[in-house]
Structure 1
Amino acid sequence: MTADVAGAPAQAGAPAPLPTRAVRWRAARDLGLETVQIPLPGPGEVLVAVAFCGVCGSDLHEIADGPHAIPVDVPHPLSGAVAPITLGHEFSGTVVSSGPGVTALPPGTPVAVEPNYRCGACTACREGRYEVCTGFGFAGLMGDGGMADHALVPEYMVKPLPDGFDLAAAAVLEPAAVALHGIRRSTFVPGQQVLVVGLGAVGLLVCALLRDKGAGVVIGVDPRPSRRALAARLGADVVLAPDDDVAGAVRDATGGDGVHVAFEVVGAQHTVDAALAGVRAGGELLLLGLVHELRIPAFRMLNAEQRLTTSVGYRDCHDELIAMCAEGRLDLAALITDVVELVDAPDALVQMATDPGDGIKTLIRCGGSRS
C-alpha cells in the first residue's frame, strides 16, 4: 500500500492516516523531505517505526540519472506504486502496530526488513524462489521504503530481531543477505580458494562470510586502500589493487592453479575480465554486480569447463545472518562509516550520487532510532 501526500483526501471508511516524514524521489536529482500520510496497517501489514536506513548504490543510481527501476508511468504490479517514491530498502526499526491476521509481531518488537515483494502465486514463488518472482521488486525502489519515520510493509518482509540487537547494524542485514545468497548460489565448499573483485559493502560481506564458512584462501581486489584495509580486517588473506599483478598474485596464492570461485561484485567488463582471469580450470565465475551486457571468452571457458553463475537478491537468508551476528561471528557495524540525519538526507544523497566518496555504508537515522 502506498503513502498519500499530506493533505490528500482519505478514502471513505479508511483508517486514520499517520503523518510521517519521508525522503521522496520525484525525478533524477530531485529529492525532497515531505510529510506523507501512511494508512494504519490493514490485513497482513505491519507498521514499523524506522530506526536506520542504509544507502545503496541502487538508490544513488536512481538519484543520479534515474528512473531505472522506479515506476513512473505504470504502477508496480505488487506495490501499486508510481513515483514519487519513498526511497530506502535497507532498514530496521520497531513494530508500532500490526493489521488483522498478524499475531507474532507485537508492538515494540525490534525488526529488520527483507524488502523484496513476492506474489506467492507464480511458478518461482511456488517453488520457493521468491527472489525471481514475476512481480520482482523492492520496497524503496518499486514501492515506498524506509527513508522515513515510519514504513508500512507486508508481514512477510518483517524479520524479528533478538532483544538488544543493534538496530544500526540491522540495517546492514540486507546487503549481507545479497552476499550470502551469492555464496549459496555458487559451488563454494569449505577449504576452497576464492577471489572477490570489488570490495564495496557486498564484496566485503562476501569476504567476511567466506572466511566464516571456511575458505582456504580469500583474495580481495579493489582500487581504494580503505576498502582493502577493511577487507583484511574482515578475513581476506590477500588484498590487491587492480593495477597490481592480480593474475600473478592469484597464481602465487593458489599454487599456480587459480581460484575455485571468483565473485565479481562491481558490474563492469574490466572487473569481469579480471575475475575470470583468476579462475582455474573447472572453476566458477559468480556474477553479483549488475551490468546490462558482457563479453565472455566462451571458447576458452568451454575448453576449461568453467562455470558462469548469476545471483540476484536473496531468499531465506536473514535468519542465518541474524544468528551469526548474535553469536559474534559477523560484525556488520564495521561497515558503517557515516550516519546522516533524516532531515539532511536529501542534500546528502544528491551529493553522494555526484561523488560517492570513500565510505562503505552510510545510514540515514530516522525517527524511530534508538542509541
Structure 2
Amino acid sequence: MKALIYEGPKKVAVREVEKPVPKEGQALIRIDYCGICGSDIGIYSGTHPRAKAPLVLGHEFVGVIEDISGDSNGFQVGDRVAPYPLISCGHCFACRNGRPHVCDTLKIIGIDLDGGVAEYVCCDTDVLFKVPASVSSKVAGIIEPLAVAVHTLHRAGFKPMDSIVIMGAGPIGALVGVVAKHSGASRIIISDFDQARLEMAAKLGFDAVNSKEANLTQYVRQATNGDGADIVFECTGAESAALEMTTPCRTDGMICLVGVHKAPHPVALADMHFRELNMTATRVYTKRDFGQAVELTQRISDELELLISHVLPLSDCANVFDMIHDPQVPTVKVMVDCRR
C-alpha cells in the first residue's frame, strides 16, 4: 500500500509499504481522508520529542472498515468510522483517576506508531466512532481537531452568552470559534496577521482583527464597553501572545492556553493578581469530547467545509509541508485524499 513516510528532519516521501494485518480485537480501515496537523509539521521539522523515523504520519483520519479480527464491538465491515487515536497506559495517576487523555506516557497514532496518511491502518474496535451518514468523508476528517475545540470549551468553563477572544485563526482557533458560536457565544473576536485566515474567519461570522494593523486589546475593550472578554483562548503558542493574553480579559475572566508554549515566555502575572484572572490549559480531548465532535459534525458540516483550503492526493502529497510553509500559498486546513 502507499503511505506518507517521515524519513527524518524535513524529509518525507510517499512509499510502498506492507499492508497492515489486524490483530485480535482490531479493524482494518481503508482510509478516505486524513488531515495534516500542526504536530505533523513539528514532526516534519524534526522538533517533535517523541516521533521517530521511519513513521507513517497522520492522526486525523476517517475511513471504512474492510476487515475485523475478533471482537467487533458492534461494528461491521462497511461501516465508516473515525478512530479515537489516543493510547493510554491505564496505570498512572491520570489514568487511574479518569483522565487517561493526559496519561503520563500518552501515545498517539501517527506520532508514536504508524498513522493514517496511508491507504490502510489498523485500530482497536473499542476506539471507533461511526460517522453519521449525512457527513461527507472529507468533513469527517476534521472530527479529531474538532474534538480539541470541544474539549477546549469544556476546560474553559464556557457558558452561553459568553464573549470570547481567540488569539490565532489557524484551524484550531477557527474550530474553537465555530463550536463557541453553536454553543451560544454572544461575541467572537479572533485575531491573526494572515489575511487569508482572517477572511475565512469573517465568513464564519467572527469579528476578525488583523494584529499587525490594530491593537487587539483596544479593539476588545471598545467592543465590550470597556469590560473585556469573558474568555480569552490563546491558540498560537507565540511569545507575543503570552504577553498580551491577560489584557483583553475582563476582571475574574478566564484565559485558556490552547497553543503549546514550548519555551518559557513572559506573562504579565501582575494582571492575574490585580484583576483576579483565572487560567487553565488544555491537551487533546476525552473520548466523550470525541463522541460529541462526531455528533456536532451533522450540524456544522458547511462551516467545516469552509476550513478545508487544500486537498492533495496521497499519491502526490510528498510536497505537502513545502506547500504549508510557502507564504505564497494561503493554507488553512490541508487534507490528504488517501483514495487517490
TM-score normalised by length of structure 2: 0.93
Letter in 2 for 1:360: V
Letter in 2 for 1:167: S
In the alignment, what sits opposite 1:239?
208
**Which residue, out of 241, 246, 250, partners 1:276?**
246
Displacement of 1:355 after TM fit?
5.1
In 1, Cα distance between the equivalents of 2:154 and 2:210? 27
Conserved in 1, the CA contact under 8 Å of 2:190 and 2:208? yes
Superimposed CA distance per residue, residues 173-219 of structure 1 (whole angstroms, 9 cap, x where no aligned partner) = 11111111111100221111110010000100111111111111111
Conserved in 1, the CA contact under 8 Å of 2:27 and 2:123? yes
In 1, Cα distance between the equivalents of 2:240 and 2:321? 28
In 2, Cα distance between the equivalents of 1:193 and 1:56? 27
Displacement of 1:156 after TM fit?
3.3
Superimposed CA distance per residue, residues 83-119 of structure 1 (whole angstroms, 9 cap, x where no aligned partner) = 3110011111101112212231211101112211122
**Which residue, out of 143, 157, 175, partners 2:113?**
143
Conserved in 2, the CA contact under 8 Å of 1:43 and 1:102? no
Q: Name the SS of the counterpart of 2:108 in structure 1.
A: coil
Conserved in 2, the CA contact under 8 Å of 1:202 and 1:265? yes
2:79 counterpart of 1:109: yes
In the alignment, what sits opposite 2:16?
35
Q: Percent identity?
A: 27
Q: Name the SS of the counterpart of 1:112 in structure 2.
A: strand
In 1, Cα distance between the equivalents of 2:85 and 2:8? 22
Conserved in 1, the CA contact under 8 Å of 2:324 and 2:331? no
2:195 counterpart of 1:214: no
2:323 counterpart of 1:342: no
Conserved in 2, the CA contact under 8 Å of 1:195 and 1:275? no
Q: How does 1:280-299 map to 2 (within 5 A)?
A: 280-292=250-262, 293-299=264-270
In the alignment, what sits opposite 1:44?
25
In 1, Cα distance between the equivalents of 2:35 and 2:18? 22
Q: CA RMSD in A?
A: 1.8
In 1, Cα distance between the equivalents of 2:265 and 2:87? 28
- Evaluate the alpha carbon distance shift between residue 164 and residue 230 of structure 1 in structure 2; reply closer, same or farther with a 3 A threshold: same
In the alignment, what sits opposite 2:196?
226
In 2, Cα distance between the equivalents of 1:272 and 1:310? 13
**Which residue, out of 262, 267, 285, partners 2:232?**
262
Conserved in 2, the CA contact under 8 Å of 1:38 and 1:152? no
**Which residue, out of 122, 131, 138, partners 1:152?**
122
Q: How does 1:163-202 map to 2 (within 5 A)?
A: 163-202=133-172
2:221 counterpart of 1:251: yes
Displacement of 1:303 after TM fit?
2.2
Which runs of 5 or more residues in structure 1 are unaligned? Answer: 1-19, 73-82
Q: How does 1:9-158 map to 2 (within 5 A)?
A: 20-70=1-51, 72=52, 83-158=53-128
In 2, Cα distance between the equivalents of 1:330 and 1:120? 38
2:185 counterpart of 1:204: no
Conserved in 1, the CA contact under 8 Å of 2:242 and 2:266? no
2:280 counterpart of 1:309: yes
Conserved in 1, the CA contact under 8 Å of 2:140 and 2:297? no
In the alignment, what sits opposite 2:294?
322
**Which residue, out of 283, 302, 305, partners 1:333?**
305
Structure whose alpha-carbon radius of gyration is higher: 1
Conserved in 1, the CA contact under 8 Å of 2:110 and 2:116? yes
Give runs of ≥4 in structure 1 deviating > 4 Å.
353-356
In 1, Cα distance between the equivalents of 2:190 and 2:16? 43
Superimposed CA distance per residue, residues 121-162 of structure 1 (whole angstroms, 9 cap, x where no aligned partner) = 333223321210122121111110000000112223321112
In 1, Cα distance between the equivalents of 2:80 and 2:59? 17
- Evaluate the alpha carbon distance shift between residue 249 and residue 312 of structure 1 in structure 2; reply closer, same or farther with a 3 A threshold: same
Moved more, 115-124 or 161-170: 115-124
In 2, Cα distance between the equivalents of 1:179 and 1:301? 25
In 1, Cα distance between the equivalents of 2:14 and 2:146? 28
Moved more, 102-111 or 112-121: 112-121
Conserved in 2, the CA contact under 8 Å of 1:288 and 1:312? yes
Superimposed CA distance per residue, residues 234-257 of structure 1 (whole angstroms, 9 cap, x where no aligned partner) = 231x21111302211101111101
Q: Name the SS of the counterpart of 2:165 in structure 1.
A: strand
- Evaluate the alpha carbon distance shift between residue 356 and residue 349 of structure 1 in structure 2; reply closer, same or farther with a 3 A threshold: farther
In the alignment, what sits opposite 1:17?
none
TM-score normalised by length of structure 1: 0.86
- Evaluate the alpha carbon distance shift between residue 311 and residue 91 of structure 1 in structure 2; reply closer, same or farther with a 3 A threshold: same
- Evaluate the alpha carbon distance shift between residue 26 and residue 147 of structure 1 in structure 2; reply closer, same or farther with a 3 A threshold: same
In 2, Cα distance between the equivalents of 1:217 and 1:144? 41
In 2, Cα distance between the equivalents of 1:266 and 1:162? 31
Letter in 2 for 1:306: L
Q: Name the SS of the counterpart of 1:320 in structure 2.
A: helix
